[in-house]
Amino acid sequence: MNAPLKEPGRISRTLIRLMMKRARVAANEAIGDGYRLITLEGPELRGVDWLPGQKIQMAMGSAFVTRTYTPIDWDTDAGSTRILGYVHGMGPGSAWVAGVRPGDECDIFGPRSSLDLRRIDGPVALYGDETSIGLAHAAMHADASRRVACHFEVGDRVGSGMAAARLGIAAAATFHERRADDAQLAALEESLAAQAAAGARFVLTGKATTIQRLRQSLKRLGVASGRIAAKAYWAPGKVGLD
């Protein structure tokens, strides 16, 4: 069982009240091994200016401890948004994603800028991992005419496929299962050339070291840096990147 989040202290409570939006968990649906589709709602989520690719930071029992997630959509009239959270371990974010129940309350900082998908014209090649599937949904559903091809490195191809299918993006997604020697990275790199030749713009998210390696491969292929947008979502040994 996950440890409950501790109550925020006085300063933290003040900051939360001043800077964050209070929301209620409306649903937490398991949609594939480790994947949770979480719906948040509340009056403070109404009338919000949200752009696909932006992030929110969830308070983990304190304004000073947050974990970052990507809204997959946002209904500004109804005041609700959804995130696809991935439970990778025992950190506070994973514990929250795995443990929240309908009716639980939470505090959100944002939405704030992260990747600006509006600046990217034409076909998109989106590379990432379990943490990037929500971004792929946001990219595709904000602009149905946009061609998006996704390549994800994942621990479990079947569970990830189920999550992508539930979100309606499976047809655009290719999953590369992780291997002990990171051999999946070669397959990811191999797929870059065809995307580059098709004139795609590249969006690289997920694990920092994978992004670094894909950037180097794109450089070798002669892809200009202006065609690449990148944002590390996590890095081994680091906590709470934003």
Ligand X SMILES: Cc1cc2nc3c(=O)[nH]c(=O)nc-3n(C[C@H](O)[C@H](O)[C@H](O)COP(=O)(O)OP(=O)(O)OC[C@H]3O[C@@H](n4cnc5c(N)ncnc54)[C@H](O)[C@@H]3O)c2cc1C
Could you say which of 8, 85, 110, 128 contacts ligand X (CB under 6 A)? 85
Least distance CB 96 / ligand X (angstroms):
8
Give 42 or 85: the residue with its C-beta nearer to ligand X. 85
Q: Within 142-171, which residues bind ligand X (CB under 6 A)?
A: none
Least distance CB 17 / ligand X (angstroms):
23
Helix H, strand E, coil C: the string for 193-238 is: HHHHHCCCEEEEEEEHHHHHHHHHHHHHCCCCHHHEEEEEEECCCC
Q: How far apart are the first and last CA of the chain?
A: 27
Q: How many helices (H) and strands (E) does the chain have?
A: 6, 12
The whole-angstrom separation of Cα 200 and Cα 197 is: 8
137 touches ligand X (CB under 6 A): no
Least distance CB 210 / ligand X (angstroms):
11
Is 224 buried (19+), middle (13-18) or exposed (0-12) by CB count in 10 A?
Answer: exposed
Give the CA dihedral 225, 222, 210, 122, nearest 10 degrees. 60
Q: Within 221-240, which residues bind ligand X (CB under 6 A)?
A: 231, 233-240
Which residue type is seen at 181?
Answer: D
- Is residue 83 within 8 A of residue 56, CB to CB? The reply is yes
Q: Within 36-75, which residues bind ligand X (CB under 6 A)?
A: 55, 67-70
242 touches ligand X (CB under 6 A): yes
Could you say which of 91, 99, 123, 161 contacts ligand X (CB under 6 A)? 91
Number of residues that bind ligand X (CB under 6 A): 30
Least distance CB 197 / ligand X (angstroms):
29
Those residues whose C-beta lies under 8 Å from the C-beta of residue 226, and which sit 6 or more positions away, are: none
Question: How distant, in Å, are the alpha carbons of 91, 104, 106, 234 from that of 239?
Answer: 8, 24, 20, 8
**Closest residue to ligand X, based on beta-carbon distance:** 91
Which range in 1-9, 87-95, 144-152, 180-188 contacts ligand X by CB under 6 A? 87-95
Which range in 16-24, 37-45, 129-137, 164-172 contacts ligand X by CB under 6 A? 129-137
Name the residues that contact ligand X, by CB under 6 A: 55, 67-70, 83-86, 88-89, 91-94, 114, 130-131, 134, 231, 233-242
